[in-house]
Structure 1
Amino acid sequence: MKFFSSQCSFDYPWAHVSASAWKKYPNEMSTHVVAVDVLRREVNPATGVLTTERLITCKQNIPRWLLAVVGGRDTSYVREVSEVDPKTQVFTLRSVNLTMNNLLSVQETVTYSPHATDPSKTVFDQTARIEAYAAFQKLCNKIEDWSVDRFRQNAQLGRAGFEMVLDKLAQTVPDNMLAVTAKL
């Protein structure tokens, strides 16, 4: 089992970042994400929390040796469940791979929350637990190491792509409009 962790802050307020998160894909930097489909969306009337379930379709450049070993393909599916709490201003996304999950489990959690001392910034926190299942530990280690490296590369590209989305939204939607929609 391997772990991945990444933290950073975006130079935008939480309302801007949380609105932009819905527009993150597709973007020029994360070309491995080819489709995002909303399966379910609901607001809890008691708490105001918005819960959304999405199916994310990815195309990965998977090494031939791995495809030969597991008999997989380069298209994969990820289930993402997110919760946006406008009262606490925490946006949490939890995702898990659906494809080849009997051979490799990837469980990711991402949170966006206001910076503790600077409300013009948003803190991004990402963690992932990656575990391979195979008869040989050496093979598990190789799959996990490759997966962590791929996850790291995709995270860097994803962050760069999200910065582009944040910039684009900042040019088209005034911050006061984002603050209003965040409170709805």
Structure 2
Amino acid sequence: MKFFSSQCHFDYNWEHVSASTWKKYPNEMSTHVVAVDVLRREINPTTGVLTTERLITCKQSIPSWLLALVGGRDVSYVREVSEVDPFKKTLTLRSVNLTMNHLLSVQETVTYQPDKINPEKTVFDQHARIEAYATFQRLCNKIEEWSVERFKQNAQLGRIGFEAVLKRLADTVPDKLFQGEKASL
């Protein structure tokens, strides 16, 4: 079992960042994400928390040795469940791979929340647990190491792509929409 974690700050307030996550894909840096479908969306009437379940379709180049080993395809599916709490100002996304999960489990949790020192910035925390299942531990280690490296590469590209989305939306959407104000359009 291997772990991956990263943290960064976005130079935009939480309202802007959390609203922009719905426009994150497609972007030019995350070309492996080919579709995002909303399966369910509901608001808890008691807490005000918005829960959304999405199916994310990815297509990546996978080493031929790995494809041959598992008889897989280069298309995979990920289930993501997000919770937006507008009162606590947190956005939490939890995702798990659905494809080949009997051979490799990838569980990721991402949170966005205002920076405690500068609330005009948003803190991004990302944690992933990656575990391969095979008869030989050496093979598990190789699959996990490759998966962590791929995860790291995709996370870096995803951050760059999301920065572009944040900037594009900042340039085109009125600021008052990201300030928690009700705006009439």
Structure 2 length as normaliser, TM-score? 0.97
Unaligned runs of 5+ in 2: none
Which residue identity does 1:95 align to in structure 2? S
Residue 177 (structure 1) shift? 1.4
1:82 aligns with 2:85: no
Counterpart-to-counterpart distance in 1, 2:108 and 2:137: 23
Structure 1 residue 181, shift from structure 2 partner = 6.2
Instruction: Indicate the percent of aligned positions where both proteins have the same amino acid.
Output: 78
Query: Does 167-176 or 113-122 show the bigger shift?
Result: 167-176
CA displacement 1:40-91 (0-9 Å, x = unmatched): 0000010000000000000011000000111111000000000000000000
- What residue number does 1:148 align with? 148
SS in structure 2 at match of 1:129:
strand
Q: C-alpha separation between the residues in 2 aligned to 1:55 and 1:36?
A: 6
Residues 1:98 and 2:102 are matched in the alignment: no
Seen in structure 2, the aligned counterparts of structure 1 residues 181 and 102 have a Cα distance that, compared at 3 Å, is farther
Which residue of structure 1 lines up, in the alignment, with residue 10 of structure 2?
10
Instruction: Call closer, same or farther: CA 1:21–1:181 in 2, change over 3 Å.
Output: farther
Match of 2:159 in 1: 159
Deviation at 1:130, TM superposition (A): 0.0
Query: Offset at 1:176?
Result: 1.5
Q: What's 2:63 paired with?
A: 63
What CA distance in whole angstroms lies between the structure 1 residues aligned with 2:119 and 2:176? 14
SS at match of 2:179: helix
Shift of 1:27: 0.2
What's the CA shift string for 1:103-139, capped at 9, x where partnerless? 0000000000000010110000000000000000000
Match of 2:109 in 1: 109
Deviations along 1:89-110, whole A, 9 cap, x unmatched?
0000000000000000000000
Amino acid at match of 1:177: L
Shift of 1:22: 0.5
Q: Tell me, which stretches of 5 or more residues in structure 1 are unaligned? A: none
Which residue does the alignment assign to 2:122? 122
Equivalenced residues, count: 182
Give the match for residue 48 of structure 1: 48
Q: Distance in 1 between matches of 2:67 and 2:141?
A: 16
1:108 and 1:94 map into 2 onto residues whose CA distance is 6
**SS at 1:180 equivalent:** coil
Task: Give me the CA root mean square deviation.
Answer: 0.9
Indicate the SS of the match to 1:21. Answer: helix
TM-score of the aligned structures, taking structure 1 as reference length: 0.97
